[in-house]
Chains A and B, each alone.
Chain A
Amino acid sequence: MQNAPEKRLHKLLHSRSFWVCALLLLPFATDALLGHGWVRILDFAMLYIMLALGLNIVIGYAGLLDLGYIAFFAVGAYCYALTGSPHLATAFPLSIEGGVHWPFWVVLPFAALLAGGFGILLGAPTLRLRGDYLAIVTLGFGEIIRIFLNNLNAPVNLTNGPQGISRIDPVSIANLHLNVTQPLFGMEIPSVHLYFYLFLSFTWLVILASKRLEKSRIGRAWMAIREDEIAAAAMGINTRNLKLLAFAMGAAFGGASGALFAGFQGFVSPESFSLMESIMILCMVVLGGMGNIAGVILGGVLLAILPEMLRHSVIPLQQGLFGKIIVDPESLRMLLFGGALIVMMLYRPAGLLPSRVRRRELGSDEMAEKP
Chain B
Amino acid sequence: MKKTLLTLLALAMLLHTSCITEDVATPTRAGNFMTLWKIIDEHYCFFDYKQQAYGLDWDEVRQRYEPAISEGMTNVQLFEVLSDMTAELRDGHVNLTAAHNVARYGEWFDNYPMNFSDSLERKYLGRASEYRAASGLRYRILSDNVGYLRVPSFDVEFGDGNLQEMVRYLGGCNALIVDVRNNGGGMLSSAEKLTTIFVNQTTTVGYIQHKTGPGHNDFSAPRKIEVTPFDGLRWQKPVFVLTNRRTYSAANSFVMYMSQLPAVTIVGDRTGGGAGMPFSSELPNGWGIRFSACPMLNAKGEHTEFGIEPHVHVDISSHDYSRSIDTIIETARNMAHDN
The judgment on whether A and B are partners is no
Interface residues of A (CB under 8 A from B): none
Interface residues of B (CB under 8 A from A): none
